[in-house]
Amino acid sequence: MNTDTLSPYILTLVTFVPLAGALLLTVLPRRDRDIRVIAFLVSLITFGLSLHLPVYFHRVIGGFQFEIDKSWISSPNIHYHMAIDGISMWLVVLTTFLTPLCVLISWKTVHDRVKEFFILLLILETALIGVFTSLDLFLFYFFWEATLIPMALLIGVFGHERKVYAAVKFFMYTMIASVFMLAGILWLYAHTGSFDFVVIRDLISRGQVSNFPAAAQWLFLGFFIAFAVKVPLFPFHTWLPDAHVEAPTAGSVLLAGVLLKMGTYGMLRFNLGLFPEQSRSNASWIMALALIGIIYGALVAMVQPNMKKLIAYSSVSHLGFVVLGIFSFTQSGLNGAMFVMLAHGISTGGLFMLAGILHERRHTYEISEFGGLATPMPVYATSYLFIVLASVGLPLLNGFVGEFLVLNGAFQAKPIYGILGATGVIWSACYLLWMFQRVFYGKVTHPINNGLADMLGFEKAAVWPCAIAAMVMGVAPILWLAAIDPAVQATLNALPQMVSKVVGQ
Amino acid sequence: MMPLAQIQAIPQGADYIRILPELVLSIFGIVIMVLDPLVDEEKSQKTLGLIGFIGTLAGLASTWYMARQPWGLAFSKTIRVDGFSIFFNYLVIAIAAVVILSSFEYMAVQKIRAGEYYALILFSAVGMTLMSSAIELVLIFIGLEISSISTYILAGFRRNEASSAESSLKYFLLGSFATAFFLYGVALMFGATGSTNIDIISQRLQSSPAEMLVYTSMALMFVGLGFKVAAAPFHVWTPDVYEGAPAPVVGFMSTAPKAAAFAVLLRVVFSINVPGRFWFLWVAAALSMTLGNVGALVQNNVKRLLAYSSIAHAGYLLVAFAMTTPDTSLNGISAAMFYTAAYAAMNVGAFAVVSHLANAGERYVNLEDYEGLGRSSPLLAATLTVFLLSLIGIPMTGGFFAKFYVFSAALRANLIWLTIIGVLNSAVGAYYYLRIIVVMYMRESRKEVPVGPVSLGLALALAITFVATLYLGILPNRVLQVAQHSAHDLLPAASGAAGVAQNPRPTGNTN
């Protein structure tokens, strides 16, 4: 059988196989080992299925592919409409790539309520994939909200000391923000009679939505605030360090690796797609916030005594690059934003796994508790350095490509944006390398650290795929950009006059 | 109250069919009362409860039969069977059935031996079905009294507890006071229009402009009904009454009488189209949402918390009433009907769980008693979580679509501010429902809270409400379509055909 016959159903499969796996786990007896194995197999099968997408993806087409559109509820007019383009495809693959690694890294670190843990993890995977594949605004909102509950439970049940506080803060922040998006979606439905992204976009671009000019700015802000909190854009970022520090390792990996990208993906797809003019008129202050995020995130990261908090603030800084790239409205900036999203997912996911490995051994994230770890843990130190360099943006590793493209785009938009943004690259080298030096170099400062075991098999299996992916992405970015570029081009084509205006400023 | 010439001397067979559910429920209620002294006291609970349950099933079946017969007026045009009344008949009787199922275990645990409990639930259901099908204000009042008096007694069923007596007495005193307002409103309406029949009033008001007396009458009727649905500013009784009353009864009286009162309110508000009703509904909706949610934030007793939540939900529902044009009214009516169904499913379910956890003497109804429930009884905790998520309004649950239809109806009617207040309120509401979930899953229990095994009846009740909550959240189409058809029955002017639809339409079961 030609696997291409799968194409109409592949998105449904990729999205719901993890959920089916979760349901299977609910009926299984509580034998922890079996549960782990099955969770791993399910996530691996999902990854395998998701590889169907890049294999059969037509790279020259900028539009949506693998489309499935079925009427689901007639009133309101909700469709089961899923499709992907070059932008969302890689985010789906990123999700399916990270999930098996999350299962591996949790293999021995989760002892209590193992069954619940993996059920939540798989439900979370379904919700995350659904966010990227849905083209019906209602479906999108459903998956968007559906990510909240498993994530909040992962933090609140399996987290560290202040887990409840962090979980509730995470839930309330993102829930309240997305209510504004819901209001926007309802407004659009009330005035267009459709939830379909493509239909609404076309109606708006043809000016056939009544009262739209008066409401557009508010709608833009309603969507934007939901996404900005998720990114998180300065000054909406305060939930992130708490959530990360308290989350279990797998939760942090998916939170930083994929969940934050929901925000930037939303900006790219919905803010730019539905409200091109408002995106342009609001671009200046959004870019300013992005720049503040880049620099502020980096400066705060530098002074963190807690390794996980440091990585969390580095996410604020890196995601600032993504927003900067998106609102530069240049081909290069958008390509770069997409690439930073993927690269950050891989490298920060890796960093969180590495931090988790250390926590598993010492039950602390305090940098001052470590020092000279390179001696007892050479393999660990090498892996760590590799991922740190990828995150810093060393050429030939994945961080470099994205940041370069973003800065290039930002510079085209306005030189000062490029110049200020470029300082972020320097900062990131400062805080990450300084942290690395304090943790790994010199003499072993605490005798207890002498006896630390080096990486175990399952830990290597979790971290090394990230390292390999970081290198492949750095050496051959074209493999990814070939699909991203047409999709970005299509997004930009919808706003042709804008590019020239921004660039011409 | 109407000219003698209009009164048919002898009711015909069709008349009886149109009150068949009421008749069936009354007969079963009477059978229980008669049997109560005859059966062995030890076994009376099971036997009589079972008869009560069969009574509700028979009630559902007779509603089904009635819906298949020609619809129309009965008993000198005081009763009207249409899609609207059938919808609420199904809903109310289904609620009664589920509550009876969830009561078996509760009554056994609390050691309450009283067969009349089940009879009272049936009689109360009779009153409520009467409220939804009556179009004669006096008959509505009688239905209101039948249902209210039964619930007053039900609220006091934990006879050994002072709080239950307090609950019953408070409910009784304030409730009679409120129904008096309703009656006063009916009297004024008779004075203003010369009739107490909703159809005739509606016709008379269309031909002549509404005068001050009509406004006053509407306001007074709203006071009476507003009390029944626990809408602010007539909500003060709710927390105390809910706290003291037996938990399954609270599940019953927070949904069924509310649904019936909302049915009356829908008929009164939309059939007697009084311009100017808009603002007091607007204010009541905004106030109920805000006061309910803010009040719930600080509650530590789960029953009180759900009491405030029910005030808030009455507020969301009232948003659907603030429609003025016929077109938006249709949306509003169907949204409100859907909301009552969804709210019934999730709230009855939530109270079923609460009543199970409460244990003997309702000792464990505080938030800290729920600590660690996610670990000690994962299935129960997961079920309660789904109901709470539905109450928050998370997609794929009935609560989401309920809110969704109400708010999108409001948006189409350009009620932007009311929608914003509502949406912000649902965000606030998320916090306190979440507190329960947080306590269940993220805290370890600090004291020994015994959780007994779930009995068959309760399991059935939970399964029904659970499936209904998810069904309304995943496939809301069918129920919504029924609600939309029924909305036309209520607004003959909007559907273009005056009078009552005579053709029976297939209706879905709405439980």
| Location of structure tokens 């829930």 | A175
Question: Looking at residue B140, what is its pLDDT?
Answer: 93
Partners of residue B441 in chain A, C-beta under 8 Å: 153, 156-157
Is A146 within 8 Å of B424 when comparing Cβ atoms? no
Partners of residue A157 in chain B, C-beta under 8 Å: 374, 441-442
- In this predicted complex, what is the ipTM? 0.72
Give me the mean pLDDT over the B322-347 stretch: 88
Give a yes or no: residue A171 inside a domain.
no
Partners of residue A77 in chain B, C-beta under 8 Å: none
Shortest Cα distance, chain B CAs vs residue A56, angstroms: 32
Characterize the bridge pairing of strands B72-74 and A65-73. unpaired
Kindly tell me if the per-residue pLDDT of B456 is higher than 80.
yes
Question: Looking at residue A1, what is its pLDDT?
Answer: 36
Kindly tell me if the per-residue pLDDT of B343 is higher than 90.
yes
Partners of residue A161 in chain B, C-beta under 8 Å: none
Model-wide pTM > 0.90: no
Partners of residue A175 in chain B, C-beta under 8 Å: 427, 430
Nearest CA in chain B to A155: B442
Is B395 within 8 Å of A142 when comparing Cβ atoms? yes
Question: Looking at residue A501, what is its pLDDT?
Answer: 44
Is B442 within 8 Å of A113 when comparing Cβ atoms? no
Residue B70 — pLDDT band, cuts 50, 70, 90?
Answer: confident
Pick from A384, A393, A357, A353: which is nearest to A255 by CA?
A353
Question: Looking at residue B499, what is its pLDDT?
Answer: 38
Partners of residue A167 in chain B, C-beta under 8 Å: 438, 442
Percent of chain B with pLDDT over 70: 94
Partners of residue B404 in chain A, C-beta under 8 Å: 76, 186
The shortest CB-CB distance from A145 to any of B395, B412, B423 is to B395
Give a yes or no: residue A410 inside a domain.
yes
pLDDT tens for B228-280 read: 999 988 888 999 999 989 999 999 999 999 999 999 998 888 887 776 677 88
- Domain boundaries of chain B, sorted by first residue: 11-494
Give a yes or no: residue A452 inside a domain.
yes
The shortest CB-CB distance from A168 to any of B378, B434, B481 is to B434
Residue B510 — pLDDT band, cuts 50, 70, 90?
Answer: very low
Shortest Cα distance, chain A CAs vs residue B347, angstroms: 21
Is B395 within 8 Å of A157 when comparing Cβ atoms? no
Residues A49-62, buried b or exposed e (16+ Cβ, 10 A)? bbebbbeebeeeeb
DSSP string for residues in A46-114? HHHHHTHHHHH--TT--S-EEEEEEEEETTTTEEEEEEE-HHHHHHHHHHHHHHHHHHHHTTTT--SSH
Shortest Cα distance, chain B CAs vs residue A41, angstroms: 25
Kindly tell me if the per-residue pLDDT of B309 is higher than 90.
yes
CB B135 within 8 A of CB B267: yes
The shortest CB-CB distance from B411 to any of A73, A75, A186 is to A186
Is B442 within 8 Å of A182 when comparing Cβ atoms? no
Kindly tell me if the per-residue pLDDT of B426 is higher than 80.
yes
User: Residue B275: CB partners within 8 Å, gap ≥ 6?
Assistant: B210, B324
Is A142 within 8 Å of B396 when comparing Cβ atoms? yes
Give a yes or no: residue A367 inside a domain.
yes
Nearest CA in chain A to B442: A157
Partners of residue B475 in chain A, C-beta under 8 Å: 73
Question: Looking at residue A115, what is its pLDDT?
Answer: 85
Is B396 within 8 Å of A146 when comparing Cβ atoms? yes
Nearest CA in chain A to B441: A157
Give a yes or no: residue A481 inside a domain.
yes
Question: Looking at residue A505, what is its pLDDT?
Answer: 38
Question: Looking at residue B493, what is its pLDDT?
Answer: 52
Question: Looking at residue B126, what is its pLDDT?
Answer: 95
Partners of residue B389 in chain A, C-beta under 8 Å: 149
Distance CA A407, CA A413 (A): 10
Kindly tell me if the per-residue pLDDT of B494 is higher than 80.
no
Nearest CA in chain B to A190: B412
Amino acid identity of residue B413, one-letter, is: A
CB A347 within 8 A of CB A418: no
The shortest CB-CB distance from A175 to any of B404, B430, B477 is to B430
Q: Give the three-state DSSP class for A306.
A: strand
Distance CA B425, CA A5 (A): 47
The shortest CB-CB distance from B423 to any of A75, A164, A179 is to A179
When mean pLDDT is compared across B36-50, B139-153, B170-184, B277-291, the lowest value belongs to B36-50
Q: What's the token pair of residue A25? A: 């786990």
Give me the mean pLDDT over the B477-504 stretch: 65
When mean pLDDT is compared across A23-37, B8-22, B98-112, B471-485, the lowest value belongs to B8-22
Question: Looking at residue A490, what is its pLDDT?
Answer: 84
Intervals of chain A under pLDDT 50? 1-2, 498-505
Question: Looking at residue A225, what is its pLDDT?
Answer: 92
Q: Give the three-state DSSP class for B84.
A: helix
Is A179 within 8 Å of B427 when comparing Cβ atoms? yes
Pick from B334, B510, B490, B495: which is nearest to B409 by CA?
B334
Range of the domain at A408: 283-505
When mean pLDDT is compared across A199-203, A402-406, B399-403, B497-501, the lowest value belongs to B497-501
Q: What's the token pair of residue B129? A: 């079905």
Residues B108-140, buried b or exposed e (16+ Cβ, 10 A)? bbbebebbbbbbbbbbbbbbbbbbbbbbbbbbb
CB B90 within 8 A of CB B239: no
Residue B492 — pLDDT band, cuts 50, 70, 90?
Answer: low
Question: Looking at residue B497, what is its pLDDT?
Answer: 37
Partners of residue B420 in chain A, C-beta under 8 Å: 183
The shortest CB-CB distance from B441 to any of A141, A153, A182 is to A153
| Location of structure tokens 């730019």 | A272
Partners of residue A115 in chain B, C-beta under 8 Å: none
Is A164 within 8 Å of B438 when comparing Cβ atoms? yes
Q: What is the dihedral of CA B378, B382, B388, B392, to 10 degrees?
A: 130
Nearest CA in chain A to B437: A153
What are B's interface residues with A at a Cβ cutoff of 8 A?
Answer: 374-375, 378, 389, 394-396, 404-405, 407-408, 411-412, 419-420, 423-424, 426-427, 430-431, 434, 438, 441-443, 475-477, 480-481, 484
- Number of domains comprising chain A: 1
CB B168 within 8 A of CB B153: yes
Q: What's the token pair of residue B118? A: 């089940």
Chain B interface mutation, best of A116, A169, A186, highest count of B Cβ atoms under 10 Å: A186
Question: Looking at residue B312, what is its pLDDT?
Answer: 94
pLDDT tens for B380-393 read: 998 999 999 999 98
Give a yes or no: residue A288 inside a domain.
yes
Chain B interface mutation, best of A16, A136, A153, A161, highest count of B Cβ atoms under 10 Å: A153
Shortest Cα distance, chain B CAs vs residue A253, angstroms: 21
Partners of residue A186 in chain B, C-beta under 8 Å: 404, 407-408, 411, 419
Is B434 within 8 Å of A113 when comparing Cβ atoms? no
